[in-house]
Amino acid sequence: MSRGILVTGAAAGLGRAVARAFAERGERVAVHYNSNSADAEATLESLPGNGHVLVQGDITAEPQRIADTAEEALGGVDVLVNNAAVVTTTATAHPPAETTFEHWQQVWRDSVAVNLLGAADVTFCVARHMIERGARGHIVNVGSRGAFRGEPDHPAYGATKAALHAMGQSLAVSLAPHGISVASVAPGFIATERVADWLTGERGDALRAQSPFGRVAEPGEIADAIVYLAAPGSTWASGAILDLNGASYLRT
């Protein structure tokens, strides 16, 4: 029987690739989005199979409604992928020496609200549904290489992704008695439409040169790893943080 999958921030980019990867394997997907309805509908229409739904909501303000809506629409959420995030774009850059204090404060507060607190709240609400149903569920957090190597132009991003990893490891222990596994992925740079301009010119060459493979990741490569961590046979990976950066950063 197919499972119910909730992917936050699934309107485009990596979230869209994750939704497709699960749908291609016969799962039923709740495509969550906040404001980008056109892209979310395009994602929904692109999914193979049946039983997929749209779930709209702000994870910072409506986590319970998002979780409840997905739970009812899918007949139970068996897998949660925490993908929604304030990501690293030119607009969200905030190096201390080059930004205003007002912008610094705004990006930090937005990043903490979405990347950490929003993910934590949705996780709580979904996990409680899993516990009530006695479901052996899976939660996968989308972290970042930046949590380990640092993000000098986007320190709030690196810090909140590090916190997300830590949250995942704590919950891996506390939710294991309920049969729920929790793991994280830590991708490097991913070639999504939102950052396509970063891959042009000298900046693009520098990004590709970070990996000895001479390229950046495709969204589908990260999505496949997330599918693995959410597979029924992957419970023993609970607590793991899986590096997906093409050997561009090696932890010891």
Q: Which residues have a Cβ under 8 Å from the Cβ of 165 and sit 6 or more positions away?
A: 141, 143, 147, 184, 186, 241
- In the set 33, 157, 228, 249, the catalytic residue is 157
pLDDT, tens only, 209-244: 999 999 999 999 999 999 999 999 999 999 999 999
Give the pLDDT score at 194. 85
The pTM of this model reads 0.96
Give the pLDDT score at 196. 87
pLDDT in single tens digits along all 252 residues of the chain: 899 999 999 999 999 999 999 999 999 999 999 999 999 999 999 999 999 999 999 999 999 999 999 999 999 999 999 999 999 999 999 999 999 999 999 999 999 999 999 999 999 999 999 999 999 999 999 999 999 999 999 999 999 999 999 999 999 999 999 999 999 999 999 999 888 889 999 999 999 999 999 999 999 999 999 999 999 999 999 999 999 999 999 998
- CATH of the structural domain 4-244, one choice from 3.30.420.40, 3.40.50.720, 1.10.10.10, 3.40.50.2300: 3.40.50.720
Q: Is 157 a catalytic residue?
A: yes
Q: Is 228 a catalytic residue?
A: no
- Domain residue limits, the chain: 4-244
pLDDT, tens only, 45-74: 999 999 999 999 999 999 999 999 999 999
**Strands across the sheet with 79-82, in order?**
53-56, 28-33, 4-7, 79-82, 138-142, 181-187, 241-244
Q: DSSP class of residue 197?
A: G
- In the set 33, 161, 228, 249, the catalytic residue is 161
Give the pLDDT score at 252. 84
Give the pLDDT score at 155. 98
3-state SS class at 138: strand
Give the pLDDT score at 108. 98
Q: Measuring CA to CA, how many Å separate 172 from each of 110, 123, 137, 184, 201? A: 26, 12, 11, 10, 42
Give the pLDDT score at 250. 96
Q: In angstroms, how far is the first alpha carbon of the chain from the final one?
A: 41
